[in-house]
Amino acid sequence: MKITHIGGPTAVLNLGGLTFLTDPAFDEPRDYQLPGRVMTKLTGPAIPAADLGPVDVVLLSHDEHKDNLDDSGRALLPSVPTVLSTPGAALRIEGVRGLENWESIELRRPDGGVVTVTGVPALHGPDGAEAVLGFVTGFVLQGEGLPTVYVSGDNASLGHVKEIADRFAPIDVAVLFAGAARTPLLNGANLTLASEDAVEAARILGDARIVPVHTEGWTHFTEGPERFLAAFREAGLEDRVELLTHGVPKTVA
């Protein structure tokens, strides 16, 4: 699998001859005026949406937050043959296929065979966060002769990581949305994995290569890639981490 980090949660995954795009956010830096608060984006995409080339599948963890689906990302969706997300997103956005937890879809590979994509549980904060922030999904990608890839989405629950690891072991690559995102909406609770939680997730996931994304680019993320790597170094797991340079493809499996 090859992965190119565009910025924030947005990355291009090349797997089995298919091009997957996670949480498309391509706006330039700006403030988003939302009810009762402002979200501030600090950095633009390493690759503009217009320069991406063909995308076969969007893996959209959720559609309700600008840091996961912004205006430019939303405009991109109609050009993508398959957009997978939550059942709620399928009701709100025409053309989106919603996946329930543990529901799978098979996508044909250009060289024969399929990539199976399964929706997996995610929790965007502490218990009960759905009532405030809505529902989120992660994804597991599998195929004959391919690495098994877990894309966490905006998940803060180690319990869900354990469920996923138990069902799909061995997982070869885990793309973890980290950065310890926090907002006043949930009294400063972590809405994505903190670095120490990502270390524990790595232990749960066995020998998986760990690819951190969504650790920077917005003011509500409190732990950047340096803190993420430092936590893994302190735990003696630094060699498991695949840090990405924005816009530069890297083969991780």
Query: CA 111 to CA 118: how far, in whole Å?
Result: 21
Closest Cα to residue 83, out of 127, 39, 119, 111? 119
For residues 136 and 88, is the Cβ–Cβ distance under 8 A? no
For residues 45 and 25, is the Cβ–Cβ distance under 8 A? yes
Residue ranges for the chain with pLDDT beneath 50: none
Q: Write the CB contacts of 48 (distance below 8 Å, at least 6 apart in sequence).
A: 26
Q: Write the CB contacts of 92 (distance below 8 Å, at least 6 apart in sequence).
A: 63
pLDDT in tens, 153-164: 999 999 999 999
Report pLDDT for 84: 98
Tell me yes or no: is domain 2-241 CATH 3.60.15.10.
Answer: yes
Report pLDDT for 219: 93
| Model pTM score | 0.96
Query: CA 76 to CA 60: how far, in whole Å?
Result: 12
Q: DSSP readout, the chain? A: -EEEEEETTEEEEEETTEEEEES---PPSEEEEETTEEEEE----SS-GGGS---SEEE-S-SSSTTTS-HHHHHHGGGSSEEEE-HHHHHHSTTEEE--TT-EEEEE-TTSSEEEEEEEEE-SSSTTTHHHH--EEEEEEE-TTS--EEE--S---HHHHHHHHHHHPSP-EEEEE-S-B--GGGTT--SS--HHHHHHHHHHTTT-EEEEESSSSBTTB---HHHHHHHHHHTT-GGGB----TT--EE--
pLDDT in tens, 169-194: 999 999 999 999 998 878 889 999 99
